[in-house]
Amino acid sequence: MFKAEVYIKRREELRKKMKKGLGLFLGNVESPMNYPANTYHFRQDSDFLYYFGLDLPGFAAIMDFDTGRDTIFGNDFDMDDIIWMGPQPTVRELASKTGVTETSPVAKLEETVSQALSKKRKVHFLPPYRGETKMTLGAILKENPCMMKTLASIDLIKAVVSMRSIKGDEEIAEIEKAVAIARDMHVTAMQMCKPGIREQEIFGAIEGIALSKGAGTSFPVILSMNGQTLHNHSHDNILKKGRMMVTDAGAETIMHYSSDITRTTPVGGKFSDIQKDIYEIVLKANTESINATRPGLSNRDLHFLACKIIATGLKEIGLMKGDSEEAVKAGAHALFMPHGLGHMMGLDVHDMEALGENYVGYNDEIKRSDQFGLAFLRFALQYVPGHVFTVEPGCYFIPELIEKWKADRKFTDFINYSKIDKYMQVGGVRIEDDVLITAKGHKLLGKPIPKTVKEIEAVCS
């Protein structure tokens, strides 16, 4: 946990934004995997972590925005718990770590909320994303659990998003630690990327690094020589020369701050000419986009910049044609890069996605497009100091999509379908880094992770 002052200050700021009513925060509970006592790895809710820091199952909190009283709801361990799980601090001791003096058993939560509702006070809560939380909220609020997302407080969502979007120094230090773990994971993956090895072995090795140095991975590792599938979670292949392995993997620190890094390595550690053709284009999109980031620019503009670099590069090697700016405007480049440039990152790897992507990445002025490719851009807003986000351009040869567009004669003014065959074996290339917006420009987070052709070939040898 951070010092109590960090959480006290965050709650003070939230109180100023909300002014009235109650804020009801449910921490996560243990979730059974295959029978009740065999639970999934416990992950605390990120908003609960942000405002209260307590990283244990079964806690809740109420902030009374009118009176300024905060209460932690939790149950002290009884003897049975201690026998099986060892001694634990009391709820009062835990609450004091987050600067809260009032505590109450969980059983009192429903009564406290009911009293507020009977006085017609507004109870604000955030949209739940787990069945257990929906059920508990439904029971406490006496509402249909299926309606909990719809009934969540937009005022509270907006207040929380406005705070969590701007990272404090203590958060940035954590994210840097998470990138350092990711660096070890990626260097190991590059060194293991040899013909004959099963992807699963590399997957296991780098997941082990994340677990041995932090709280594990920040999302299920994506690792495959079939990188043309953007989020490939199957690791069954035996690596073959001629293919490229996409590794999209990040770590969570013990405090649950994330990193999210992607590197693409040629199997065997040496780039062929066609691999280099595509790799250099994506690398240029990655480095030039990162170099352009500064306060005031929007992430949507950065997305267009990266797409234009991809389209221009693909034109130079004959895969695209015509005016690159026009091609990007029309969405033709999305055949090769059908995703957004990146997303905010923090306590969640897709930060605050549970609160609603459009509250996090869009506002009343910048609305989400429905154009194929651009529609997947999660974060489009103007940068301000304290924003942390990923920059992850890619270029993919997705057989099904290429076949469909070719049959539909889509964007024939911009795409040379007859030239694509030669590059199909490249599969996919993605290069991702984590960036912070500073007062004057930006900072690439963490120590550099091998990225140029020369650096990757050196690590692999």
Applying CB under 5 A, the residues found at the interface with Mn ion are 260, 390
- Partner that binds at residue 55, options Mn ion, ligand GLY, none, CB closer than 5 to 8 Å by kind: none
Q: Which does 372 bind (CB under 5 to 8 A by kind): Mn ion, ligand GLY, none?
A: none
The 198-227 site mask, x for binding ligand GLY (CB under 6 A), equals ---------------------x--------
229 Cβ contact partners less than 8 Å away, ≥ 6 residues apart: 398, 428
- Of 55 and 392, which CB lies nearer to Mn ion in the complex structure? 392
Spell out, one character per residue from 337 to 376, where the chain touches ligand GLY: x when CB under 6 A holds, - when not. ------x---------------------------------
Please say which residue, 29 or 211, places its beta carbon nearer to ligand GLY: 211
In this chain, which of 45, 174, 248, 348 binds ligand GLY, going by CB under 6 A? 248
The one of Mn ion, ligand GLY, none whose footprint includes residue 45, by CB under 5 to 8 A per kind, is none
Rounded Cα distance, 303 and 361, in Å: 13
Residue 433 near ligand GLY by CB under 6 A = no
Helices (H), 317-395: 324-330, 357-361
**What does the alpha-carbon distance between residue 214 and residue 250 come to, in Å, rounded to a whole number?**
11
Residue with Cβ nearer ligand GLY (62 or 337): 337
Give the torsion sign (CA, 284, 285, 287, 291): positive
**Cα atoms in the 13 Å half-sphere on the side-chain side of 442:** 25
Q: Of 70, 176, 260, 351, which lies in the binding site for ligand GLY, with binding defined by CB under 6 A?
A: 260
Q: Report if residue 55 touches ligand GLY, rule: CB under 6 A.
A: no
Q: Which does 228 bind (CB under 5 to 8 A by kind): Mn ion, ligand GLY, none?
A: none
Neighbours of 232 (CB within 10 A): 19
CA distances from 206 to 173, 187, 191, 192, 225 (A): 22, 9, 11, 10, 16
**Residue among 177 and 343 whose Cβ is closer to ligand GLY:** 343
Q: CA-CA distance, 302 to 297, in Å (whole number)?
A: 7
Torsion of Cα atoms, 424 then 426 then 427 then 428, to 10°: -130
Give the pairing of strands 70-73 and 102-104. parallel
CB of 380 to ligand GLY, least distance (A): 15
Q: How far is the CB of 322 from ligand GLY (least distance, A)?
A: 30
Largest CA distance in the chain: 74
The residues of the shown chain that bind ligand GLY, judged by CB under 6 A, are 219, 248, 260, 343
